[in-house]
Amino acid sequence: MNPPTSRRRWSSVLLVGLAVVLAAGLGWGAGFLWFVQRAESAGPAPPPADGIVVLTGGADRVQTGLRLLAEGRARLLLVSGVARSADLAELAGLAKLDPAPLQARVTIGHAAVSTRGNAQETASWVRSHDLHSLIVVTAGYHMPRALAELSRVLPDVALYPAAVVPAALRGGSDVTVLRLLAGEYTKWLAVELGLSRFAPERAERSVEPRRHG
């Protein structure tokens, strides 16, 4: 192989590599814009279902789930991933509801510490109550990953999103929020590619962004 031919081949390989990287970057960016739009939209109200699951990480999520339960959207509610110190009385207080009538309808789950854990805790609860449809309450930015994880363990259960838009996102985007959205978008892509099982368990917890100032 003479030197000019070798250089031309290496140049071609380099150009192809750069094109692939550029296409991947453009694809990631276009998908991220769609993701941000979805994260900032609450979407339509969910239809009635057999149950409701709230994936904790922000007070707005719990309030939304309890409100949907009070409206009669479902007969049972699971709040997944609750801190050991929290109970129904505390959670109902956030929504200004009397906890007494909710005792038989609300399950407080303390086992989950990640989105995968939420899915596993939810699947166990769904099967124990023989539910076939589920309203999923979580932040809009967390919803795609939550639905992906839930659909893996509950393939025969209809999932209806009820997205909550955190106050930090309603107030506009800053660097911290954009960083959180980019990280969540990347995690969702990893779930879709089947890579989430390799992530450390506690690295997947979803917490509402906080706005300071």
Phi/psi of residue 81, each to 5°? Answer: 80, 35
pLDDT mean over 151-175: 83
What gap in Å lies between CA 2 and CA 49, rounded to an integer? 70
pLDDT tens digits, 61-92: 999 999 999 899 999 999 998 888 788 888 88
Query: From CA 204, how far away is CA 181, in angstroms rounded?
Result: 13
Rounded to the nearest integer, the mean pLDDT of the chain is 80
28 compared with 126, residue with greater pLDDT: 126
What count of Cα atoms within 13 Å lies in the side-chain half-sphere of residue 22? 6
Largest CA distance in the chain: 85
pLDDT tens profile 7-47: 666 666 666 666 666 666 656 566 666 777 666 776 788 99
The rounded distance, in Å, linking the Cα atoms of 168 and 208 is 8
Specify the pLDDT at position 211: 42
CATH number for the domain whose boundaries are 51-204:
3.40.50.620
**What is the Cα–Cα distance from 162 to 46, expressed in whole angstroms?**
6
Q: What are phi and psi of 164, to 5 degrees?
A: -110, 135
- The structural domains of the chain, with segments of one domain joined by +, span 51-204
